């Protein structure tokens, strides 16, 4: 028997709860990011760089979908509010997981909430969390064919970061082919080639994020 109706019901319920999460974020007046990438793509490094740049300008909190809090320990040591969303080994976060974790954070004390999703380019694309922006990270070592293999992820991106550009000279990565695949799926998406290791491109990416954050804070005032 086809299971499509069951899947549609699950996604519809998830979307309804995601709307509730969004309403909670909006009432708190914060900007929420859903950060997605494959394992090793650089999610934690991207978040660390955001914190380094914006922590004196904005109150930042981090939620991490994982089974251990290893990635959060460094942020917590810097005084950043953190919360582990224990996925139990699941391949993605969903709206219910995020909703259940919200009471662990003082949302009214935050300007920016960063949700680090599970390392996966398939499942996270299907489950809305209620975030304002989907931040998708690709990386040079993964290859330039990722938009063609995982179209749903790239189609749903609000901003796309191409990380590890410092390795481009040593890898067989076709930037034009990558960009064409992205543009077919998501024309005009905000795109930033970056390197978290060298800092390449981070100024432009952080300026873009700073502008989105300022819009949210201004709307709250």
Determine the CATH number of domain 4-216.
3.40.50.300
State mean pLDDT over 169-196: 97
Among residues 129, 127, 115, 133, which one has the least CA distance to residue 65? 115
pLDDT at residue 11 tops 90: no
Q: What digits encode the pLDDT tens for the residues 122-152?
A: 999 999 999 999 999 999 999 999 999 999 9
Residues of the chain above pLDDT 70, percent: 95
pLDDT at site 1:
45
User: In the predicted model, what is the mean pLDDT of the chain?
Assistant: 94
Q: How confident is the model at residue 187 (pLDDT cuts 50, 70, 90)?
A: very high
Q: How confident is the model at residue 60 (pLDDT cuts 50, 70, 90)?
A: very high
pTM (two decimals): 0.93
pLDDT at site 220:
79
Q: What digits encode the pLDDT tens for the residues 61-98?
A: 999 999 888 889 999 999 999 999 998 888 999 999 99
Domain boundaries, the chain: 4-216
Q: What digits encode the pLDDT tens for the residues 106-128?
A: 999 999 999 999 999 999 999 99
């Amino acid at each position: 028997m086809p299971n499509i109706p069951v899947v549609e019901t699950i996604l519809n319920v998830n979307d309804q709860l995601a709307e509730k999460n969004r309403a909670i974020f909006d009432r708190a007046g914060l900007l929420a990011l859903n950060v997605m990438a494959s394992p090793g793509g650089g999610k934690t490094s991207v978040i660390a760089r955001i914190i380094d740049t914006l922590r004196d300008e904005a109150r930042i909190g981090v939620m991490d979908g994982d089974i251990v809090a290893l990635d959060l320990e460094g942020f917590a040591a810097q005084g950043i509010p953190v919360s582990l969303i224990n996925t139990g080994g699941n391949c993605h976060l969903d709206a219910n997981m995020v909703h259940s974790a919200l009471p662990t954070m003082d949302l009214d004390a935050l300007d920016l909430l960063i949700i680090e999703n599970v390392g996966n380019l398939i499942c996270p694309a299907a489950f809305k969390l209620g975030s304002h922006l989907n931040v998708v990270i690709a990386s040079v070592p993964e290859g330039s064919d990722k938009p063609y293999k995982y179209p749903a992820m790239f189609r749903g991106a609000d901003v796309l970061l191409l990380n590890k550009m410092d390795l481009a000279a040593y890898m067989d990565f076709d930037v034009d082919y990558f960009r064409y695949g992205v543009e077919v799926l998501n024309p005009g998406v905000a795109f930033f080639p970056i390197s978290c290791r060298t800092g390449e491109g981070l100024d432009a990416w952080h300026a873009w994020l700073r502008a989105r954050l300022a819009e949210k804070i201004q709307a709250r005032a």
